[in-house]
Structure 1
Amino acid sequence: MDDFVRNKLTEWNLNEWIQTFKDQGVDKESLYCLEDQEIVALIPFVGPRSKFKKRLRLLKEEQKTTDPETSESSVEVRPSTSKTNDKGKRRSDLQGESSQSPARKQPRVDIVTQREKVILSDVKKIMTGVDQQLPDQDDKLNRFLKNKINTLETDKREVVSVFGRTGAGKSSLINAVIGEQGLLPSGDISACTSVMTKVEANMRNPKYEAEIEFITKEEWKEELWTLFNFLGDNEDQKKDEDYQDSVEMLSMLYGEEWRNKSTENLMDKKYFREIPEFLNSESKTLRCDTAKELSAKLVKYTQNVSKEEDAKDVKRWYWPLVKCVTVRVPKNYFLQHVTLVDLPGNGDRNKSRDTMWKKVIGSCSTVWIVAEIKRAVSEKASWEILEESYSLMGNGGECRKIHFICTMSDIIGGSDDQSAAGVHDRILKRNDQAKRKVSAEFRKLKEVKKQLSEECFKVLTVSSEEFLRRKSLDRDDTEIPKLQKILQDLNDWHSETFNYVSGARGILSLMQGASSREGADIKTAVSIELEGKLSLELDKVRKPMEETLTAFEKCLSEGVEKSKGSCEEDLKSVLNPKTKKGSAFHRILKCLVQNGGIHKPKKGKSININMKLTSCLTDSIDEEFKKTFPNEGNSGPFNGVINAFSLGTEKLMMNKECENVKLQLTFLKTEEETMTTKLNKLIRKRKKTIYSSLTTTIEETMKPCYDRAKEIRGEGSLKNMRETIEMHVHGSKNVMFAQAKDAMMKQLTDLMSEILETLKSTMQESIELSLKTDGDSIPDVSLELEMVKKYYNELTKSPDDDAILW
């Protein structure tokens, strides 16, 4: 037996067992190795044995923090993601240092991340143990604590949307950035513009997985009706792009069998034998050992043009029936808390696909727009994406960064100077020139810039093939490592770990403070002071919000009057387009009324009557809305005042008279931080529905006239459909714009009320539970609290709280 074991038993108030441990020869090394049956032999009595086991477990957890390399997860090695890593590894091998442990080879940022993973894992174990110690008594404090522990863990997932014309190199880019060659098909295979592909990490097993979600049978039947609207015998129609798109979709799924058949015939089960999941409204899951194998199996569900060798065994292509494909890559560091979404450019005719498209754009924090470098400025598709979607990203979303990515940056024309240095210099010059031109083009988009500032727009030049070929060289001009760094930052292990540890520290502080009998008088005095402070702070939150509502009322009232005066002229520009005449526009208008005023062509801009009618209203509030709900979420009359909310707990903690309630005040401070995060998330979510409420109200008001118009048949139907819509707008304009205004104002008022009520009720409950409730049944968690405090201080890089306060 050594001094280490003797001191630990003394520290744990288990002196009477020192002789037993000595007799059995238990030293420091063997102490850590003790199994349950051996502990039973050493300490036969349940009471002291349970104390010993608990303290030994905590000692082992503490040992991990002082020596992270002893933890199994701490030696996990991430694949190299940049030239620096590969270069460092190569130099080590040349110097004969390959025998170093994997952890030693990791860059500092990797070691920090691994350390935080260890901390997070350890604190989760501690809180699981605390949860199990809580009694089953159904009292308010116990219920509160169990709920708090169960809600500590949150899955924060960032969404990165990737747009780009087919052939621009989206798939190659994604494959290169996440380090998975061959995952998404690239080259001369063209991805179907209707299939949304999400790429995530598979943290459950080592397989490559794809979950295929289909549209419903009813939706496909409706889509068949729309497709047949573009079919006919006249030559003019056959030249129409939408006509060609309809033929292509039907031929992919049915071959030539669709011709001369009705919608009912084409819904026969025989066409869907290979995908019973579609008929049963279920998802289909594919699992493979390699990325290449999964990619080959996915072709028929995601591609509309294939290499001949890929097509020879495929009889039917099912992409017209696919709503979304989610690809999961095993243990991919870049994707652990990030979802990359390969998106079609301008939504989809299918309502559920289009709804999902809008939802994804509205939830993305980062957007990558991919264009071939030689077409970056002239490529219409790239800029149409911004012009079509900026309101979904900006005021109607949460986008904070737009990266315009120019691909194939290593390809350059011939020159007299063909030396490596000469070619390199010309590439750099051409890439810098492309960046300047693209940035200048963005500055021309005045409407887009109302919601998405120049500060959020960045241009990068990349070459996926060159990156994979040259990533081990000293020089890297592809900027793909910058994209990888963006994904690393979005994963944000530190925030996830810190939020969990901070929350755990608050809960344990409450538990330890609640079990204390000391300081009854000071608890009462502090609770009275905090309740008074809460009332004052709520007034500080309420006032700027009310002022904002007044500003919105004024803006919207002006927008209503402008809408009344311009709506009929705006409507004519949609119903009488200069570019489409006669039968071509007849088919488009039929689709417009069939789809609630919206038509999505295969190429070019979408047509949306509802958004056209709402344009004056949205223009009237765009500036105020951006100021009120900035996507950064750290300022404004809603986020800003919530972030400034404080009960002054830190100041009270510095008061020596409050020493006996310091733990309770620590908990309340944590609750403030948790509440700030929760309310910022609520605002981020609610702002989207508030902004879209204007268009939603117009859609609802216009629906009856669309329903009447789609029933119109026969001679003069184009004229009659137009007149039906025009008459409805003329008769409704004095009411529907005011209704849209009222709907938005109600949602804004409801949000303000919910924020104030949530702040008040949550903080009142926290004050009551921490300062007015006895914790007779609460177990002693002093050891757990000390362990978590050590982790907390390590994460904040600060000394212990006591050292600061006293």
Structure 2
Amino acid sequence: MDDFVRTKLLEWGLSEWVEKFKDEQIDAESLCDLDDREIDNLITKAGPRVKFKKNLKLLKEKRNSNQETVISFQCEQEHEEAADVVQVLPSTSDTGKRKSDLQSNPSRLQSPAKRQRLSMPGFEESIILSDVKSIMTFVHERLNDQDKLSAFLKKKISDLETDKRELVGVFGKTGAGKSSLINAIIKEKNLLPSGSVNACTSVMIKVEANRGSLKYEAEIEFITKEEWNEELWSFRQFLDNNKNQDKEDDDYHDAVEKLSALYGEDWKKSFENLMDRKYFKEIPEFLQSKRKILTCESANELSAKCVKYTRSESKQGEGNEGKTWFWPLVKCVTVRVPNNPFLQHVTLVDLPGNGDCNKSRDQMWKGIVGDCSTVWIVTEINRAASEKAAWGILESVSSLIGNGGECQQIHFICTKSDLVDDSDDLSSADIHDQIIKRNIQANDGVRKEFNKRSKINKHFTDDSFKVFTVSSKEFLKGNHLSPEETEITKLQGFLQELNDCHSETVNYVSGAYGILSLIEGARRRKEGAGKADDVCKVLEKNMTEQLDQVKKAVEKAIKDFEQCLTEGVKNSKTSEEKLKSFLDRDKQPSFFKTLEAVVRKDGMHKTKKGEHINLNTVLASCLTDSIDEKFRKTFPNDVKGGSFNGVISRFSLDPNSLIQKYQDVKLQLIFLQTEEDKIKAKLNKIILKEKKIIYNSLTEAIEKNMKKCYEDARKISGKDALKKMRKTIETHVSLNRNIYEDAKKIMMKKMNILMTIICKELKETMDHSIKLSLKASALSESLPDVSKHLETVQQHYNEDLLHTVTAET
């Protein structure tokens, strides 16, 4: 069963029959060939069966109509000059987009027939993808496993299945309007709760599309029983040792809040039985190490059910007596929304601040933050430019999302832009003008502040920073502003662009076109025909030259980084001066408690006032500062720029130029061109992943070295504890002068490993593809006839090409 069949059953209100169709392996191809007897066996109830037959008939009529239009269009195109100049296999630019010879005059492609065709429902992305997937499933089943070529082709078909979701991370302090903003943007007014309860400091909420059902769902992932048991032990030790604790202390407040949320007053009586099953009756999944699934018919219903897993209530008001809140046990909640175009290939992540004492929550947080392609910083428009919390958040994550992540854009979103003087003396026009004026002022102020933040500017240029002044309230009610003026529509447009840029269909169709071309080319080729050996020699020569260029570019980057880091090691005193500056706060009344929290959390702590403290990044700063600029240019998060100054994007064996000279192996060369595109896309993903590991290895090496120091500092108590803690940290750093050199060596080792991976992937993938596509003619007799399938997929491929050219213009 494929996505097309599942989607149709859901659209037709037949969700209860999805599993039956799945069991019977009904796909898009077989769906339209079902006869009455087979339908009767699949759907045993008369009502749903009648509904199914009616919708299936309409689907067949629509598809037949579309096919007739395609045939008519193709006949017209044969007599149009534009069709003659569209290449069978367009070249690939550095940015990875296919271009035709008509790029200099793309308007010639936009005939009325084509415009009509692109707007037709039969050519929707999901239909194309489903059709091509059905074809490839059919071909996969008919390939045997008895020869290398067939096994190679089967693996290539299996590798076509990819689906990368774009992550948009949403940061902002409690009350900034994150939930209302997300609700307004995805047009789900009551999805995420806001206003009545306080946001938690630890629960991450993902919002994405529900592809398997028309219902609203929430998947709740808990921390493990062992982790909670460890937290309970930690809370007990902390509270026993701090019985006279200041009630405003961050860690004291955190411990009491979590314990009271889950246990009410019981924890104050005894810690002995807090893992008893009676406390987890509503969430048996926690004890079973399973995820809890909530399913509802409406967003409002799901929101009400999710509150106790995602939010906290600081005041036990009426109706809250004895109520249990499970958020202390929750690591992540994934909310899935049906039929939402903004979430097709995008996941919005409502992110808490970092500094959580739970290790698995902290690791998940770092992973998600590093994977975000866009970050939204949400704050109220009032004093947005001077809002310490918002800028503090951005500065604290800048290295994680920049050189240590894959963020391409930062959106600074100023909410509640409608809050102006709304007195009776002002007309609606006056209020409108006030709002617009303040929005302009806020935009200018935020941009000026961004340019002052050197810590952020090391990772992001002005081009990657955008400011939005939004009003969810005005977007929904429209008293004074148009929808466009609320700028919610701009953010919706941005999400739509992320969805439209998603290349699942493009990549799948392109890969399928290459595979089918290879099968058909191998079948058509006669023994001794063509000049395969000559082609192979040219390709192998090109391979050697291209790999040499790649290796030289990577080696130069490694040499540059080594020089930068050597300088960074020499400047280690700058990091130690920053550390000393932090430790010299000992005259501040609350500093001892802050330092206690820092060493208890292995050097990292976030205060209730929003200050982010990380002694490990402070010590590593001499190294990271030395490479930041070079690293950003070598590994730009915008993959269009290309890593290593674009050498990977430029890599090509140039099979496209050989097609005219070697027509008898044209189809095999088409396959090699699509393989080239695939391996470069794969390498870009590998590099993006590895570069995050490489950059973060500097801080992680320092953190590992400092772990023993923090453990020793945690044991200190009694008289002069603060002085002894300071001394312990300073002594450890002064006696471990090799920590910077060791961190440098670790990073350089990882860079060399990356170079090996890149060269190996390029050489082995293309060598193997050349060998099996041009030297495996003896195995071609066992291949199935895919000529008709190739025509269909080529049609989709060319359709995508024309659509791409039109979109670019």
Structure 2 partner of 1:554: 563
Whichever residue aligns with residue 764 of structure 1, its letter is: D
**Pick from 655, 659, 669: which aligns with 1:649?**
655
Structure 2 partner of 1:692: 696
What's the CA shift string for 1:286-336, capped at 9, x where partnerless? 111111111111111111127978853762111111111111111221112
Structure 1 partner of 2:105: none
Whichever residue aligns with residue 681 of structure 2, its letter is: T
Pair 1:288-2:296 in alignment: yes
Deviation at 1:35, TM superposition (A): 6.8
Structure 2 partner of 1:16: none
**Pick from 123, 126, 136: which aligns with 2:135?**
126
**Pick from 785, 802, 807: which aligns with 1:780?**
785
CA distance in 2, matches of 1:495, 1:356: 26
SS of equivalent residue, structure 2 residue 267: coil
Aligned residues: 707
CA distance in 2, matches of 1:399, 1:798: 28
CA distance in 1, matches of 2:347, 2:494: 13
Gaps of 5+ in 1: 1-31, 39-56, 69-105, 801-806
Structure 2 partner of 1:348: 356
The TM-score, its normalising length taken from structure 2, stands at: 0.82
CA distance in 2, matches of 1:335, 1:248: 34
Structure 1 partner of 2:215: 207
Structure 1 partner of 2:76: none
CA distance in 1, matches of 2:204, 2:697: 25
- The structure-2 alpha-carbon separation of the partners of 1:34 and 1:788, relative to structure 1 and needing over 3 Å to count, comes to closer
**Pick from 730, 734, 747: which aligns with 2:734?**
730
Structure 2 partner of 1:319: 327
SS of equivalent residue, structure 1 residue 282: coil
Within 5 Å, give how 1:386-401 maps onto structure 2.
386-401=394-409
Preserved CA contact (<8 Å) 1:690 1:744: yes
**Pick from 137, 146, 161: which aligns with 1:138?**
146
Pair 1:534-2:537 in alignment: no
**Pick from 521, 524, 542: which aligns with 1:516?**
524
Whichever residue aligns with residue 789 of structure 1, its letter is: Q
Whichever residue aligns with residue 182 of structure 1, its letter is: N
Pair 1:703-2:707 in alignment: yes
Pair 1:224-2:232 in alignment: yes
CA distance in 2, matches of 1:412, 1:120: 49
Give the superposed CA RMSD: 3.1
SS of equivalent residue, structure 1 residue 596: coil
Deviation at 1:523, TM superposition (A): 0.9
- The structure-2 alpha-carbon separation of the partners of 1:571 and 1:723, relative to structure 1 and needing over 3 Å to count, comes to same
Pair 1:720-2:744 in alignment: no
- The structure-2 alpha-carbon separation of the partners of 1:60 and 1:527, relative to structure 1 and needing over 3 Å to count, comes to farther
Within 5 Å, give how 1:724-803 maps onto structure 2.
724-733=728-737, 735-774=738-777, 775-797=780-802
Deviation at 1:113, TM superposition (A): 10
Structure 1 window deviating more from structure 2 (149-158 vs 594-603): it is: 594-603
Preserved CA contact (<8 Å) 1:639 1:680: no
State which structure, 1 or 2, has the greater radius of gyration over its C-alpha atoms.
1
SS of equivalent residue, structure 1 residue 161: strand
CA distance in 1, matches of 2:747, 2:641: 21
CA distance in 1, matches of 2:270, 2:420: 51
SS of equivalent residue, structure 2 residue 261: helix
Preserved CA contact (<8 Å) 1:163 1:344: yes
Whichever residue aligns with residue 751 of structure 1, its letter is: L
Preserved CA contact (<8 Å) 2:422 2:431: no
Preserved CA contact (<8 Å) 2:513 2:671: yes
Structure 2 partner of 1:608: 614
What's the CA shift string for 1:369-427, capped at 9, x where partnerless? 11111131232211111110000111011111111111111221146862222221221
Pair 1:254-2:263 in alignment: yes
Pair 1:434-2:442 in alignment: yes
Structure 2 partner of 1:302: 310
Preserved CA contact (<8 Å) 2:245 2:252: no
The TM-score, its normalising length taken from structure 1, stands at: 0.82
Preserved CA contact (<8 Å) 1:300 1:314: no
SS of equivalent residue, structure 1 residue 577: helix
- The structure-2 alpha-carbon separation of the partners of 1:475 and 1:590, relative to structure 1 and needing over 3 Å to count, comes to closer
SS of equivalent residue, structure 1 residue 797: helix
Within 5 Å, give how 1:356-755 maps onto structure 2.
356-414=364-422, 418-470=426-478, 476-492=484-500, 495-518=503-526, 520-563=529-572, 565-578=573-586, 580-581=588-589, 584-635=590-641, 638=644, 640-655=646-661, 658-733=662-737, 735-755=738-758
Deviation at 1:127, TM superposition (A): 1.1
SS of equivalent residue, structure 1 residue 633: coil
Preserved CA contact (<8 Å) 2:222 2:286: yes
Preserved CA contact (<8 Å) 1:58 1:787: no
- The structure-2 alpha-carbon separation of the partners of 1:767 and 1:717, relative to structure 1 and needing over 3 Å to count, comes to same
CA distance in 1, matches of 2:411, 2:121: 28
Gaps of 5+ in 2: 1-30, 38-58, 71-114
SS of equivalent residue, structure 2 residue 169: strand
What's the CA shift string for 1:510-557, capped at 9, x where partnerless? 101111233545111101111111011101111111111110010001
CA distance in 2, matches of 1:574, 1:132: 65
CA distance in 1, matches of 2:407, 2:462: 13
- The structure-2 alpha-carbon separation of the partners of 1:334 and 1:549, relative to structure 1 and needing over 3 Å to count, comes to same
- The structure-2 alpha-carbon separation of the partners of 1:622 and 1:503, relative to structure 1 and needing over 3 Å to count, comes to same
SS of equivalent residue, structure 1 residue 638: helix
Preserved CA contact (<8 Å) 1:131 1:149: yes
SS of equivalent residue, structure 1 residue 267: coil
Deviation at 1:166, TM superposition (A): 1.1
CA distance in 2, matches of 1:148, 1:361: 32
- The structure-2 alpha-carbon separation of the partners of 1:419 and 1:799, relative to structure 1 and needing over 3 Å to count, comes to closer
- The structure-2 alpha-carbon separation of the partners of 1:532 and 1:472, relative to structure 1 and needing over 3 Å to count, comes to farther
CA distance in 2, matches of 1:306, 1:712: 33
Whichever residue aligns with residue 783 of structure 1, its letter is: K
CA distance in 1, matches of 2:626, 2:611: 23
Deviation at 1:771, TM superposition (A): 0.3
